[in-house]
Chains A and B, each alone.
Chain A
Amino acid sequence: MRSTHVIVAGLLALGLIPQTYAASEGYEIVILNHRFEPAELTVPAGQKVKLVVDNRDASPEEFESKELRREKVIPGHSKATIWVGPLTSGEYRFFGEFHEETAQGKLIVK
Chain B
Amino acid sequence: MLGAAVIVFREILEAALIIAIVMGASRGVAGRGNWVLGGVGVGIVGSVVVAALAGTILEAMDGRGQELFNAGILLAAVVMLAWHNVWMSAHGRALASQMKKVGHDVSAGMKPLSALALVTLFAVLREGSETVLFLYGLTASGTGGLALVGGGMLGLAAGAAIGWFLYRGLLSIPIGRFFSVTGWLVLFLAAGLAANAAGFLNQAGLLPALSMQVWDTSQILSQQSWFGTLLHILIGYHDRPLGIEVVSYVVTLTVIYILMRWVDPSSTRSGGAHRQTSGEKGARNYS
The count of chain A contact residues (Cβ–Cβ below 8 Å) is 33
Q: Which of A14, A58, A75 lies in contact with B133, CB distance below 8 A?
A: A75
Q: Are A66 and B7 neighbours in the complex by a CB distance under 8 Å?
A: no
* A37–B7 alpha-carbon span in the complex (Å): 24
Q: Mark A73-88, 1 if CB is under 8 A from B, else 0.
A: 1111010111100011
Once A18-B205, A75-B58, A87-B212 are accepted as A-B contacts, the answer to whether A60 and B240 lie under 8 Å apart by CB is no
* A72–B133 alpha-carbon span in the complex (Å): 12
Q: B14 to chain A: which residues have CB within 8 Å? A: none
Main secondary structure of the interface of B (DSSP, over half): helix
Q: Are B55 and A75 neighbours in the complex by a CB distance under 8 Å?
A: yes
Q: Are A81 and B63 neighbours in the complex by a CB distance under 8 Å?
A: yes
Shortest CB distance B133–A (Å): 5
Q: Mark A46-90, 1 if CB is under 8 A from B, else 0.
A: 000000000001111110001101111111101011110001100
* A78–B55 alpha-carbon span in the complex (Å): 7
Q: Are B141 and A67 neighbours in the complex by a CB distance under 8 Å?
A: no
User: B181 in the interface, Cβ–Cβ < 8 Å?
Assistant: no
Main secondary structure of the interface of A (DSSP, over half): loop
A-contacting residues, B198-231, CB 8 Å: 199, 202-203, 205-206, 208-209, 212, 218, 223-224
The count of chain B contact residues (Cβ–Cβ below 8 Å) is 33
* A14–B210 alpha-carbon span in the complex (Å): 11
Q: B58 to chain A: which residues have CB within 8 Å? A: 72-75, 78, 80
Q: B48 to chain A: which residues have CB within 8 Å? A: none
Q: Are A16 and B134 neighbours in the complex by a CB distance under 8 Å?
A: no
Q: Are B208 and A15 neighbours in the complex by a CB distance under 8 Å?
A: yes
* A74–B54 alpha-carbon span in the complex (Å): 8
User: A28 in the interface, Cβ–Cβ < 8 Å?
Assistant: no
Q: Are A83 and B203 neighbours in the complex by a CB distance under 8 Å?
A: yes
Q: Are B141 and A58 neighbours in the complex by a CB distance under 8 Å?
A: yes
Q: B140 to chain A: which residues have CB within 8 Å? A: 57-59, 76
User: A98 in the interface, Cβ–Cβ < 8 Å?
Assistant: yes
Q: A81 to chain B: which residues have CB within 8 Å? A: 63
User: A17 in the interface, Cβ–Cβ < 8 Å?
Assistant: yes
* A108–B189 alpha-carbon span in the complex (Å): 35
Once A59-B138, A67-B240, A69-B242 are accepted as A-B contacts, the answer to whether A75 and B205 lie under 8 Å apart by CB is no
Which of B's residues lie within 8 Å of A, judged by CB? 3, 7, 54-55, 58-59, 62-64, 66-67, 130, 133-134, 136-138, 140-141, 199, 202-203, 205-206, 208-209, 212, 218, 223-224, 239-240, 242
Which of A's residues lie within 8 Å of B, judged by CB? 14-18, 20, 34, 57-62, 66-67, 69-76, 78, 80-83, 87-88, 97-98, 101
